[in-house]
């Protein structure tokens, strides 16, 4: 028996679309990318979407657009992937890490404690696919006292007049919060289409623009597109118009646009995302949930609450009261049976890069406690019920009673 953790779902439909794109004569950013952007915006119910080559690029493009730089602070959870924090560091700003709640999500209470006049952005992370508590976060950034602390240092910061909420929704495409889909909840939202994510384009990402009232989201869309293509005034498609060769570069921009080959994959995946992909992922979550919830040795993750529904990205099971050694032993025993499991994530303060910057895991006790017992189980579209049952059986055999 061999059960991988999260293989990409590549079928003939995707292969045919990619081949058609290759034969179409247009392989880089073009009609398919623009269509994928429109479809994503319709899907999420947000104003505009820019597709890029990764979520990491999306985070950085969004932070740069807001004018985040040296001396600024960006609040984010200690329990996330490195990309959330490295994008902040690339901009010259400082990640201010806070501890998480038992649902692995950013604690709004802890966020409030670390807001300073240097705070420019909060990056909540919809860990495992479950949206964060956005109402509480908006309460914080709209709090008159906290608005007063905010020191605008760019035109758009002046216009917003408060801390920006930039959601890291790398896991949560299709999840809902108060009936709204991710992408339409925060000011800006970043999705990832990396190979292991729910919807993949091999590598890819998107920024949803959902800025309030007086922002011209079409103009922001244009600015982000230009920012992702060298700061050049015309993209390759616009330059193919006869005689339209002349261009300008308005600032030294990035190069992180999405190709039409990637967008072709995304279009196929998005079309069947709600009808096929999410329902199957939910079935797998429910099957794991039923198997582990009555077993005293385990704690199942929250994935549906009164006002939230997950995108069922990571089944973040916890072995009750387990230390790292017990958890690692279970992973090893599963591996010996041919079953791949994973750990999401090693909290950032435990990684050398962040330890060397002075972050200390002892300041994030909840993150450490959650991490120690966490074991992520295989979830993917083609995973059958018998395989799910095999994972359940082998894991139950690999964990000793507490």
Ligand X SMILES: *Cc1c(COP(=O)(O)O)cnc(C)c1O
- Interface with ligand X (CB under 6 A): 54-56, 80-81, 83-84, 125, 168, 170-171, 192, 194, 205
**DSSP code of residue 8:** -
Q: In whole angstroms, how close is the CB of 151 to ligand X at the nearest point?
A: 28
**DSSP code of residue 29:** S
Which of 291, 370 has the CB closer to ligand X?
370
Let me know: does 16 contact 270? Beta carbons within 8 Å: no
Quote the CA–CA distance of 399 and 402 in Å, as a whole number: 9
**DSSP code of residue 243:** T
Alpha carbon distances (Å) from 139 to 106, 175, 189, 218: 14, 21, 18, 27
Q: In whole angstroms, how close is the CB of 209 to ligand X at the nearest point?
A: 18
Which of 80, 310 has the CB closer to ligand X?
80
Question: How far out from the chain centre does Cα 5 lie?
Answer: 18
Is residue 350 exposed (0-12), middle (13-18) or buried (19+ Cβ within 10 Å)?
middle
Q: In whole angstroms, how close is the CB of 129 to ligand X at the nearest point?
A: 10
Quote the CA–CA distance of 94 and 34 in Å, as a whole number: 34
Which of 171, 181 has the CB closer to ligand X?
171
Which of 176, 192 has the CB closer to ligand X?
192
Contacts of 211 (CB under 8 A, 6+ apart): 47, 160, 187, 188, 217, 220
How are beta strands 94-98 and 48-52 bridged, if at all?
Answer: unpaired
Tell me the Cα Rg of the chain: 21
Q: In whole angstroms, how close is the CB of 80 to ligand X at the nearest point?
A: 5
Which of 83, 173 has the CB closer to ligand X?
83
Quote the CA–CA distance of 399 and 380 in Å, as a whole number: 24
Which of 346, 390 has the CB closer to ligand X?
346
Tokens of residue 97, six digits: 């890490």
Which of 55, 383 has the CB closer to ligand X?
55
Which of 56, 259 has the CB closer to ligand X?
56
Q: In whole angstroms, how close is the CB of 72 to ligand X at the nearest point?
A: 20
Alpha carbon distances (Å) from 17 to 9, 20, 196, 267, 321: 14, 5, 20, 9, 48
Q: In whole angstroms, how close is the CB of 238 to ligand X at the nearest point?
A: 26
Q: In whole angstroms, how close is the CB of 54 to ligand X at the nearest point?
A: 3
- Count other Cβ atoms within 10 Å, centred on residue 265: 25
Which of 285, 298 has the CB closer to ligand X?
285
Strand partners, 75: 96, 122
Which of 124, 160 has the CB closer to ligand X?
124
Question: How far out from the chain centre does Cα 379 lie?
Answer: 17
Q: In whole angstroms, how close is the CB of 84 to ligand X at the nearest point?
A: 5
Quote the CA–CA distance of 129 and 199 in Å, as a whole number: 12
Q: In whole angstroms, how close is the CB of 198 to ligand X at the nearest point?
A: 11
Query: Where would I find the beta strands (DSSP E) of 174-282?
Result: 176-177, 180-181, 188-192, 205-209
Residue 22: in which H helix or E strand, if any? helix 12-24
Q: In whole angstroms, how close is the CB of 401 to ligand X at the nearest point?
A: 33
């Amino acid at each position: 028996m061999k059960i991988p953790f999260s293989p990409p779902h590549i079928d003939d439909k995707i292969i045919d679309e990619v081949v058609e794109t290759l034969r179409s004569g247009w392989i880089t950013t073009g009609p398919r990318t623009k269509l994928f952007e429109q479809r994503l915006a319709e899907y999420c119910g947000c104003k505009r979407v820019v597709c890029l080559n990764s979520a990491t690029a999306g985070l950085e493009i969004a932070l740069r657009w807001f004018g985040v730089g040296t001396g600024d602070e960006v609040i984010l959870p200690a329990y996330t992937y490195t990309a959330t924090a490295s994008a902040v560091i690339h901009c010259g700003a400082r990640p201010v890490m806070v501890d998480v709640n038992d649902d692995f999500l950013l604690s709004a209470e802890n966020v409030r404690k670390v807001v300073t006049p240097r705070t420019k952005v909060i990056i909540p992370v919809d860990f495992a696919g479950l949206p964060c508590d956005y109402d509480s976060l908006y309460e914080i950034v709209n709090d008159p006292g906290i608005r007063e602390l905010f020191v605008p240092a760019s035109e758009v910061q002046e216009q917003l007049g408060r801390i920006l909420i930039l959601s890291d929704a790398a896991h949560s495409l299709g999840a809902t919060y108060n009936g709204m889909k991710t992408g339409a909840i925060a000011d800006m939202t970043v999705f990832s289409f990396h190979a292991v994510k729910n919807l993949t384009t091999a590598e890819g990402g998107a920024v949803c623009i959902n800025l309030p009232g007086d922002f011209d989201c079409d103009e922001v869309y244009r600015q982000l597109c230009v920012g992702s293509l060298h700061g050049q005034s015309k993209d390759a498609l616009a330059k193919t118009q006869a005689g339209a060769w002349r261009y300008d570069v308005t600032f030294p921009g990035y190069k992180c646009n999405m190709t039409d080959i990637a967008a072709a994959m995304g279009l196929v995946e998005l079309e069947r995302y709600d009808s096929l992909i999410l329902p199957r992922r939910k079935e797998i979550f429910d099957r794991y949930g039923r198997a582990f919830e009555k077993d005293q040795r385990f704690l199942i993750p929250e994935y549906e609450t009164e006002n939230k529904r997950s995108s069922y990205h990571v089944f973040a099971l916890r072995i009750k009261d387990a230390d790292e050694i017990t958890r690692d032993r279970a992973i090893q025993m599963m591996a010996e049976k041919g079953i791949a499991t994973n750990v999401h994530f090693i909290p950032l303060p435990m990684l050398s890069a962040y330890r060397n910057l002075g972050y200390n895991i002892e300041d994030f006790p909840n993150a450490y406690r959650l991490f120690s017992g966490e074991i992520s189980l295989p979830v993917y579209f083609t995973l059958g019920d018998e395989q799910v049952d095999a994972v359940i059986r082998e894991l139950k055999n690999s964990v000793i009673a507490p």
